[in-house]
Structure 1
Amino acid sequence: MKNKWLGFACLLPLLSGCNDANSSISASSDTVSKQQIDTIITNINKLYPDASNDLKQNALNTAVRAIENLVFVKGGSFEMGDFRAPCEIPSRTTNRIDWSPDAQCLSSPSSKLRGANHLHKVTLDSYSMSTYETSFMDMEWMRQINRLPVAADKMDGYHVIKGEVIERGSEDYEYLLTRRKNKATRTINWQQAKDYCQWLGNLTALPFDLPTEAQWEYAARNRGEKRYYATNNGYLQYRNGHYFNPNTGYYIDYTDDEVNAGTSTEDQIGQWPANPLGIYGMSNNISEWTNDWYSPTYYQESPELNPQGPKKGEKKVMRDGKGLMTIDRFPNKIKEDKYYANNSFRCSLQKKTPAIILN
């Protein structure tokens, strides 16, 4: 399993691909060009002239890693929304459904309520999607260099202490690092997610942003295939789980090697297998912000080409969440009262060509 996000540094600055000796920060990459890294360094020094070298280095590492972790998604057309499911599921569990052309029932009971039952054609230009959800530490490096507080609540047991923040270097902070360092970052509002992606754009001079709702679903469904879950095989296979085999008349238990999902949020980013595109965590009980305003009737008026969502609204669309299917969408208020473990995001690159051109 790849986990490039776990750490990145230019340990040997004299090797080819690292930056010149005149720079106070440096990096190397097998895939990101020296020219792109130099651009990031220039922008960091311009935006944060008074930041410490350590903060600049962490910002550089985060930006380079963000480019490394992009998956290019070739554009195309697909039917967006609830593409239906068999009314009687042969496996006797919604965690394991095979689509067939004669499927008549809605896949999710929420589809009609939230407008996903309106199946409609969407055509997308190519773009790139982050392999992983944004990690707590990547968010932390962004917030540190911008002198923002830690993206976490100060707690008294199970209760949030209103008006107080976790001080970096404190015991609370060190405890937080042990628990969340390798997990998806939490957010308290949509703007935090938006700001992080645009910060990457400012550093890299590349069009990073939140994905649109259509881009999220297209990638989760392996470029629009009729897949109910964004896992390696389109099923949710839990530990101690099983399904009915109608051919034998027996239930079949999943082995530990076949497990590809959990019943709670992930213990660490990339814990379960990626979908066929190589994207992790799109069916992992963590809800992800998209760029779109929410409207239950938007699918009825959505343009076919690159839909961007309604022009205005009161809530934003979140996708995935609590192990729901790839077609499920739900509205979320743009600001919460605390940081929830299952509210996170990943960034996309709004560019029709790959960010990395391999030789």
Structure 2
Amino acid sequence: MAVRQAASGSKSGATGSDKMVLIPGGTFQMGADEFPDARPLHSVTVNGFWMDEHEVTNAEFARFVAATKYVTVAERPLNPNDYPGVPAEQLVPGSAVFTPPTQKVSLANPLQWWEYVKGASWQHPNGPKSSINGHENEPVIHVSYDDAAAYAKWAGKRLPTEAEWEFAAQGGKGNRTYYWGGELKPAGKWIANIYQGDFPAHNTTEDGFVGAAPVKSFPANPYGLYDMDGNVWEWCQDLYRPDYYMKSPENDPQGPADSYDPDEPGAVKRVQRGGSFLCSDQYCIRYKAGSRGKGEVSSGSNNLGFRCVRDK
């Protein structure tokens, strides 16, 4: 069926369009047997909704900041009470930036390729000397869950539920290995921005991008949505629990009432979906259909963004 599209009409600019796509409601099989926290496959019904056709861009987020004077979590001063014993001069705002090692390393310790960069934020993706000038049509990054939710509220939208996100990503095609189909490279072409090469030290950039790509750089899915696989992870509204699918309701699930991650029991986490430009067949294969990500609500990184939805 043809999918109707419409601009939100609230805010438009030279880059980014705020265009939303009408996603029909329906029943689908949610989850993936390949991933322990995405089991079991289960039947879910969602109502129709509107979804941003692409991830929120730097240009769109800049309009929000200009209108509200909002300061993201990565830009806010750090509270010394949260970091007992850490010298005050080290409590500098920043965010996590992928920093590839110069040689092959064990994949057991992600700290070998992630670095907390002081001054890194959505406006300065790689640190104070970097800028988003010339990158206005790329996804906004270094946004926490609260940052994403604040933008969504300002725009008259909200973040998608995990079920809405997966239903939209399937594009009406049901469960497949990847959201686009059964082959990683249909007709020999990369159709999502993920990592090629020897992770994390050598990115061959066969898909044309070393980091986040401008939105709409790859083909849309059958619903007219771009980058539901790869590019940047996307926040969902659901709290994260690895066992939630065992008791998730069938109709319009909203996520569990509390968060629990056995890897970090004290952290409050929300679901992230879609994988990023750092996912590969060697590490983090969660660009595959049905897989789930997770993130502590106040943290961001240079491979994490979001898109919004609106009730039908």
Shorter chain as normaliser: what TM range? 0.5 to 0.7
- Quote the residue 1:65 is aligned against: 17
Aligned mates of 1:340, 1:80 — CA distance in 2: 27
Question: Is 1:200 the counterpart of 2:160 in the alignment?
Answer: no
Equivalent positions of 1:83-162 (< 5 A) are 106=33, 108=34, 111-112=35-36, 114=37, 116-149=38-71, 162=118
1:341 equivalent among 274, 292, 302: 302
By how many angstroms is 1:149 displaced?
4.2
Structure in which a larger fraction of residues adopt helix: 1
By how many angstroms is 1:154 displaced?
6.8
Alpha-carbon spacing, 1:118–1:220, altered in 2? closer, same or farther (3 Å):
same
Equivalent positions of 1:199-278 (< 5 A) are 199-201=154-156, 208-223=157-172, 225-231=174-180, 233=181, 235-237=183-185, 254-255=187-188, 258-264=189-195, 265-278=211-224
1:184 equivalent among 121, 139, 155: 139
Alpha-carbon spacing, 1:195–1:165, altered in 2? closer, same or farther (3 Å):
closer
Give, as a single letter, the amino acid of the residue that structure 2 aligns with 1:216. Answer: W
Give the gaps of 5 or more residues in structure 1.
Answer: 1-29, 41-58, 83-105, 202-207, 239-253, 352-359
- Alignment partner of 1:263: what SS? coil
Q: Name which structure has the greater RCO, CA cutoff 8 Å, separation 6+.
A: 2
Give, as a single letter, the amino acid of the residue that structure 1 aligns with 2:229. Answer: S
How many corresponding residue pairs? 239
- Quote the residue 1:52 is aligned against: none
- Alignment partner of 1:187: what SS? coil
Give the gaps of 5 or more residues in structure 2.
Answer: 76-92, 100-114, 196-210, 260-267, 280-285
Equivalent positions of 1:36-47 (< 5 A) are 40=10
Aligned mates of 1:319, 1:344 — CA distance in 2: 10
Alpha-carbon spacing, 1:167–1:189, altered in 2? closer, same or farther (3 Å):
closer
Aligned mates of 2:122, 2:273 — CA distance in 1: 29
> TM-score, normalised on structure 1?
0.58
Compute the RMSD of aligned alpha carbons: 3.3
State whether residues 192 and 227 of structure 2, in contact with CA within 8 Å, keep that contact through their aligned partners in structure 1. no
> TM-score, normalised on structure 2?
0.66
After superposition, the C-alpha distances for 1:80-129 in whole angstroms (9 at most, x for unaligned) are 111xxxxxxxxxxxxxxxxxxxxxxx3x3xx11x2x12111111111111
After superposition, the C-alpha distances for 1:17-63 in whole angstroms (9 at most, x for unaligned) are xxxxxxxxxxxxx955xxx85xx5xxxxxxxxxxxxxxxxxx5549x
Alpha-carbon spacing, 1:167–1:81, altered in 2? closer, same or farther (3 Å):
closer
Mark the structure with the bigger radius of gyration.
Answer: 1
By how many angstroms is 1:297 displaced?
1.4
- Quote the residue 1:350 is aligned against: 311
Alpha-carbon spacing, 1:268–1:80, altered in 2? closer, same or farther (3 Å):
same
- Alignment partner of 1:177: what SS? coil
Identity %: 28
Aligned mates of 2:141, 2:171 — CA distance in 1: 26
Aligned mates of 1:328, 1:167 — CA distance in 2: 30
